[in-house]
A and B are shown apart, each in its own frame.
Chain A
Amino acid sequence: MRKLLIALFSGAMLTATASAEDVKIGIILGFTGPIESLTPDMAAGAELAIAEVNGGGKFMGGSKVTGIRGDSTCVDSAAAQATAERLVTSDKVNAIMGADCSGVTGAILANVAMANGVVMISPSATSPGLSTAEDNGLFFRTAPSDARQGQVVAEILKDRGFMNAAITYTNNDYGKGLADSIESNFKAVGGTVTINTSHEEGKGDYSAEVAALAQAGGDILIVAGYLDQGGKAIIQSSLDTGAFDIFYLPDGMIGDSLPAAIGDGLNGSIGDVPGTDSPGAAMFVELAAKAGFKGDGPFSPESYDAAALIMLAMQAAGSTNSQDFKSKVMDVANAPGKKVFPGDLSAALEYIAAGGEVDYVGASAVELIGPGESAGSYREILVDGGKNTTVGFR
């Protein structure tokens, strides 16, 4: 019996080494649902990092990496868990790049990633709740927590002279976390929040919600929602009834589809999205253009960085097993070490293999703090002439 167990065990070890030849990374994003216009460029970002690593042939002694896409739906936790379960148990992914929205990310983390011991790095889940969620050291994010975004929003509003704001948020972990963070930070800088209320996604009509917001009043309406659904409808309805003229658009509302759908009415509105003026961002935009997608879209650089961190950490640990490389993620992301920018992945892998240490900067100036989340720098957005334009960095 003991011999049999040993035989089985060594057999299992053998297969583990054998499968290292073909490493799989699950890319779980909301390809359908309220941020579906953003996710193609996000997935392309992650796949660009994978293609770059495969092209160099320096990963884990020549292993190939495959990205497998799965749909998180952004809002349906049950569907997202089923997707993650399938990728982990049937496709046997070694790590997950995802998920995107905070609610589904928390659900996958608690019920799939922790149960199966798989590392996940989210490019865009920003709920403050995820900072304190139990994760056995498996969860990281290249996006900053909304606790930080709240400060940025309050600063931008104050600098632009808006001291009276109404807030409407999408009724989930992301919306609630962000709205509360904005409210407390805005009050701290002396602003007044006239109303802080939720809206549901996917309804036909938001006139009652807008009516309540209009009665509370304010110089600006902060829409902590999603650009392809409720958020867009609220803005349209507010403009139609003349309830608000200026809107504040946090990260979930930044995308080309929103100004295109609303038109001139959105001009003059302001917003923010994670982003940086570090040289890595420009390099990534160039790489993305060659690969045929937009590299300055929301969360696309973060997706590239999330995938890159997974592969660098695997290389540093010399293992594709999540339990082995989870402790290496923070090491490769932060100083000390050689700075790594987009396009340098192969050189970095070679350097790590030779025993060197790297400090991954990447496309979004990654610096992981606290429980493994980005410290957070933001692009300040002004909608001008029907387009989102960057007016500064915070």
Chain B
Amino acid sequence: MIDILNALALLANFVIVPALAYGSQLALGALGVTMIYAVLRFSNFAHGETMSFGAMISVLSTWGLQEAGITIGSLPTALLALPISIVATVCVCLLSDRLIYRYYRTQKAAPVTYLIISVGVLFILSGVIRFIIGPKDQIFADGQRFILKARAFKEMTGLDQGLAIKTTQGVTVITAVVIVALLFWFLNQTRTGKSMRAYSDNEELALLSGINPARVVMITWIITGALAAIAGTLYGLDKGYKPFTYLGLVLPIFSAAIVGGVGNPVGAIFGGFVIAFSEMLLTFAYKRVIAYLTPGEWVPDGLMQLLATDYKLAVSFVILVIVLLIKPTGMFSGKTL
């Protein structure tokens, strides 16, 4: 029995807890991508850099707050900086729409044109970020580092295996749950949310029934900007802010959105966790887990690892290909909100 508990603690420490946090970050990112796709009908490759921009504003405001001596005890100060970051990121999104995307919308440009434009926006944003904060890593997490320390867990339970939960991991998951709940309430219960869903479902019909398209587009950008700022900040808080890594995050985010069914919010969340858990489960070495679960003292010679960790990114590709082959619309048939 104790062996089974040890195996569970081991899995929780190295797979379940990190995958939950990573999955929440991916889910929030994928929600942003999916919102843009559902309403504006294009794949926004600049979303990773938008997240990076939001995280950067959080870093800068956190420093400002720390300077002023404002903190929130054991929680990271970045949570207080989040509203500032959301406002700034929303402004950037609205500005990019006003200056760039709106022009092409009046031209009724093809989705592929939008896609290329979003790559252009990506380069501009990443240039701005490097100009403001530079290419170096920034650590801005403060407060208490752990909710549960590995050693404390061992002493508490008497198990051989430790379980560590970082404050940032806890904050990430809880924030993600709150944000997703708010988003679903907004989309399903409010008049504005319903008009967005109508617009996404059938644009012409929505226009005929008197929905203002400019307003729907604006609200979509506001929601996307807010989601990006939150996702970017949580990711930076959990793993340290590195401006370069957000570009690499675009691939798993798109995989998550497409696996779940692009344009479908439930699918985006589901996809985020599918990608995160597959990356972690497929590259984990099960040597000790198997040793605990088999009777006796036998320990496998090899690492019992399905894929080397170098192939982590390839996992999202493979899942993407499989889903596109079997169910091209994604697991929760996408296209509308």
Binding site for B on A (CB under 8 A): 32, 36, 171, 195, 197-200, 202-205, 207-212, 214-217, 228-229, 233, 240-243, 261
Contact = CB atoms under 8 A, between A and B. Distances in A.
16 contacts: A32-B135, A36-B136, A204-B248, A207-B14, A212-B284, A212-B285, A212-B309, A215-B284, A216-B285, A216-B287, A229-B137, A233-B239, A241-B13, A241-B162, A243-B14, A261-B139
Interface residues of B, number: 41
Closest 5 CB pairs of A and B: A242-B150, A204-B245, A215-B285, A211-B14, A242-B162
Contacts, number: 87
Contacts of A203: 245, 248
B15 A211 contact: yes
B286 interface: yes
Given A204-B248, A241-B150, A242-B151, A215 B240 contact: no
B41 interface: no
Nearest to B286: A215
Interface of B: 13-15, 18, 22, 135-137, 139, 145-146, 149-151, 162, 164, 166, 235, 239-240, 242, 244-245, 248-249, 279-280, 283-289, 303-305, 308-310, 312
Given A211-B15, A216-B285, A242-B150, A205 B305 contact: no
B239 A208 contact: no
A216 B239 contact: no
B284 to A, nearest CB: 6
A202 to B, nearest CB: 6
Nearest to B146: A240
A209 B303 contact: no
B150 A214 contact: no
A204 B239 contact: yes
A199 B242 CA distance: 17
Given A208-B280, A242-B13, A243-B14, 15 more contacts: A32-B135, A36-B136, A195-B303, A202-B245, A203-B245, A207-B18, A208-B279, A208-B283, A210-B14, A215-B284, A215-B285, A215-B287, A215-B289, A241-B162, A242-B149
A232 to B, nearest CB: 9
A240 B164 contact: yes
A155 B309 CA distance: 30
A289 to B, nearest CB: 27
Contacts of A210: 14
